[in-house]
Amino acid sequence: MRPRYTGIVPPLITPLAARDTLDVAGLERLVERLVAGGVSGLFILGTTGEAPSLSYRLRREFIGRACRFVAGRIPVLVGITDTSLVESANLAAHAADCGADAVVTSAPYYFPSGQPELREFLEDLLPELPLPLMLYNMPALTKTSFSAEVVSWALQQERIAGLKDSSGDLVYFRRMRRLAATQRPDWSFLVGPEELLAESVLLGGHGGINGGANLHPALYVSLYEAAKAGDVSRARELSEQVMNLSEAIYHVGRHGSAIIKGLKCSLSILGVCDDFMAAPFHRFQEAERRVIAQHLETLGIAR
Amino acid sequence: MRPRYTGIVPPLITPLAARDTLDVAGLERLVERLVAGGVSGLFILGTTGEAPSLSYRLRREFIGRACRFVAGRIPVLVGITDTSLVESANLAAHAADCGADAVVTSAPYYFPSGQPELREFLEDLLPELPLPLMLYNMPALTKTSFSAEVVSWALQQERIAGLKDSSGDLVYFRRMRRLAATQRPDWSFLVGPEELLAESVLLGGHGGINGGANLHPALYVSLYEAAKAGDVSRARELSEQVMNLSEAIYHVGRHGSAIIKGLKCSLSILGVCDDFMAAPFHRFQEAERRVIAQHLETLGIAR
Amino acid sequence: MRPRYTGIVPPLITPLAARDTLDVAGLERLVERLVAGGVSGLFILGTTGEAPSLSYRLRREFIGRACRFVAGRIPVLVGITDTSLVESANLAAHAADCGADAVVTSAPYYFPSGQPELREFLEDLLPELPLPLMLYNMPALTKTSFSAEVVSWALQQERIAGLKDSSGDLVYFRRMRRLAATQRPDWSFLVGPEELLAESVLLGGHGGINGGANLHPALYVSLYEAAKAGDVSRARELSEQVMNLSEAIYHVGRHGSAIIKGLKCSLSILGVCDDFMAAPFHRFQEAERRVIAQHLETLGIAR
Amino acid sequence: MRPRYTGIVPPLITPLAARDTLDVAGLERLVERLVAGGVSGLFILGTTGEAPSLSYRLRREFIGRACRFVAGRIPVLVGITDTSLVESANLAAHAADCGADAVVTSAPYYFPSGQPELREFLEDLLPELPLPLMLYNMPALTKTSFSAEVVSWALQQERIAGLKDSSGDLVYFRRMRRLAATQRPDWSFLVGPEELLAESVLLGGHGGINGGANLHPALYVSLYEAAKAGDVSRARELSEQVMNLSEAIYHVGRHGSAIIKGLKCSLSILGVCDDFMAAPFHRFQEAERRVIAQHLETLGIAR
Phi, psi (degrees; rounded to nearest 5) at A126: -55, -45
**Amino acid in the structure at residue B1:** M
Rounded CA separation A246/A299 (Å): 11
Nearest to C199 by CA among B203, D124, B175, A264: B203
pLDDT digit string, tens, across residues C206-233: 999 999 999 999 999 999 999 999 999 9
Test the D interface: residue of C21, C22, C47, C83 with most D CBs within 10 Å:
C83
Instruction: Find, in chain A, the residue whose alpha carbon is nearest to that of D194.
Output: A171
CA-atom Rg of chain A in angstroms: 18
Q: Do A120 and B280 touch (CB under 8 A)?
A: yes
Whether A41 contacts chain D with CB within 8 A: no
Residue that wins the pLDDT comparison between A231 and C256 = A231
Question: Which other chains touch chain D, taking contact as 3+ CB pairs less than 8 Å apart?
Answer: A, C
- With pLDDT > 90 as the criterion, what percentage of chain B qualifies? 97
Q: Do C111 and D55 touch (CB under 8 A)?
A: no
The shortest C-alpha distance from B99 to chain A (Å) reads: 24
Q: Which residues pair with A162 in a beta bridge?
A: A134, A188
Per-position pLDDT tens, chain D of length 303: 899 999 999 999 999 999 999 999 999 999 999 999 999 999 999 999 999 999 999 999 999 999 999 999 999 999 999 999 999 999 999 999 999 999 999 999 999 999 999 999 999 999 999 999 999 999 999 999 999 999 999 999 999 999 999 999 999 999 999 999 989 999 999 999 999 999 999 999 999 999 999 999 999 999 999 999 999 999 999 999 999 999 999 999 888 899 999 999 999 999 999 999 999 999 999 999 999 999 999 999 976
Rounded CA separation C244/C219 (Å): 12
What is the per-residue pLDDT for D303? 65
The shortest C-alpha distance from C148 to chain B (Å) reads: 12
Whether D236 contacts chain A with CB within 8 A: yes
pLDDT digit string, tens, across residues D211-230: 999 999 999 999 999 999 99
Q: Please give the order of strands across the beta sheet that includes B42-44.
A: B7-8, B207-208, B188-191, B160-165, B133-137, B102-105, B76-79, B42-44
Rounded CA separation A89/C172 (Å): 40
Pairing of strands D16-18, C102-105: unpaired
The shortest C-alpha distance from B63 to chain A (Å) reads: 17
pLDDT digit string, tens, across residues C37-71: 999 999 999 999 999 999 999 999 999 999 999 99
Whether D182 contacts chain A with CB within 8 A: no
Whether B117 contacts chain A with CB within 8 A: yes
Q: Do C109 and D110 touch (CB under 8 A)?
A: yes
The shortest C-alpha distance from D233 to chain C (Å) reads: 37
Summary mean pLDDT of chain C: 97
Q: Do B109 and A111 touch (CB under 8 A)?
A: no
B220-229 mean pLDDT = 98
Tell me the chain B residues in contact with residue A111 when contact means C-beta distances shorter than 8 Å. Answer: 52-53, 141, 256-257, 280-281
Give the pLDDT band of residue B1 (cuts 50, 70, 90). confident
Contact pairs from chain B to chain C, CB under 8 Å: 69
- DSSP secondary structure string for all residues of B61-108: HHHHHHHHHHTTSS-EEEE---S-HHHHHHHHHHHHHHT-SEEEE---
Q: Do A141 and B111 touch (CB under 8 A)?
A: yes
Rounded CA separation D259/D247 (Å): 10
Rounded CA separation D193/A134 (Å): 28
Whether C19 contacts chain D with CB within 8 A: yes
Test the B interface: residue of C149, C167, C169 with most B CBs within 10 Å:
C169
A5-19 mean pLDDT = 98
Summary mean pLDDT of chain A: 97
* CB-nearest partner of D230 from A174, A175, A232: A232
The shortest C-alpha distance from A203 to chain B (Å) reads: 31
pLDDT digit string, tens, across residues B14-34: 999 999 999 999 999 999 999
Q: Do A84 and B55 touch (CB under 8 A)?
A: yes
* CB-nearest partner of B256 from A112, A256, A281: A112
Whether B140 contacts chain C with CB within 8 A: no
The shortest C-alpha distance from A282 to chain B (Å) reads: 8
Whether B141 contacts chain A with CB within 8 A: yes
Rounded CA separation B247/C175 (Å): 8
The shortest C-alpha distance from D231 to chain C (Å) reads: 37
Tell me the chain B residues in contact with residue C233 when contact means C-beta distances shorter than 8 Å. Answer: 230
Whether B243 contacts chain C with CB within 8 A: yes
Q: Do D114 and C84 touch (CB under 8 A)?
A: no
Q: Do A19 and B84 touch (CB under 8 A)?
A: no
What is the per-residue pLDDT for A208? 98
What is the per-residue pLDDT for C256? 86
The shortest C-alpha distance from C136 to chain D (Å) reads: 14
In chain A, domain spans: 7-231
Q: Do C232 and B236 touch (CB under 8 A)?
A: no
What is the per-residue pLDDT for A303? 65
Whether C84 contacts chain D with CB within 8 A: yes
Distance of CA B280 to the CA centre of its chain: 20
Is it the case that residue B302 has pLDDT exceeding 90?
no
Whether D251 contacts chain A with CB within 8 A: no
* CB-nearest partner of B195 from C174, C202, C243: C174
Nearest to B54 by CA among A139, A106, A90: A90
Test the A interface: residue of B14, B62, B83, B284 with most A CBs within 10 Å:
B83
pLDDT digit string, tens, across residues A32-51: 999 999 999 999 999 999 99
CATH code assigned to C7-231: 3.20.20.70
H-run or E-run covering A137: strand A133-137
Q: Do C243 and B170 touch (CB under 8 A)?
A: no
Phi, psi (degrees; rounded to nearest 5) at B205: -65, 165
Give the pLDDT band of residue A256 (cuts 50, 70, 90). confident
Helix (H, G, I), strand (E, B) or coil at A79: strand
Q: Please give the order of strands across the beta sheet that includes D7-8.
A: D7-8, D207-208, D188-191, D160-165, D133-137, D102-105, D76-79, D42-44
User: For chain C, what's the residue count?
Assistant: 303
Whether D147 contacts chain C with CB within 8 A: no
- Whether the link from the prior residue into C280 is cis, omega within 30° of 0, is yes
What is the per-residue pLDDT for D57? 98
Q: Which residues pair with B21 in a beta bridge?
A: B18
The shortest C-alpha distance from D84 to chain A (Å) reads: 32
Question: Which other chains touch chain C, taking contact as 3+ CB pairs less than 8 Å apart?
Answer: B, D
What is the per-residue pLDDT for C303? 65
C113-142 mean pLDDT = 97
pLDDT digit string, tens, across residues D130-183: 999 999 999 999 999 999 999 999 999 999 999 999 999 999 999 999 999 989
Instruction: Find, in chain B, the residue whose alpha carbon is nearest to that of A49.
Output: B111
**Amino acid in the structure at residue C241:** Q
Q: Do C120 and D282 touch (CB under 8 A)?
A: yes
pLDDT digit string, tens, across residues C154-168: 999 999 999 999 999
* CB-nearest partner of C257 from D111, D124, D256: D111
* CB-nearest partner of B280 from A19, A54, A117: A117
What is the per-residue pLDDT for A88? 98
A260-284 mean pLDDT = 97
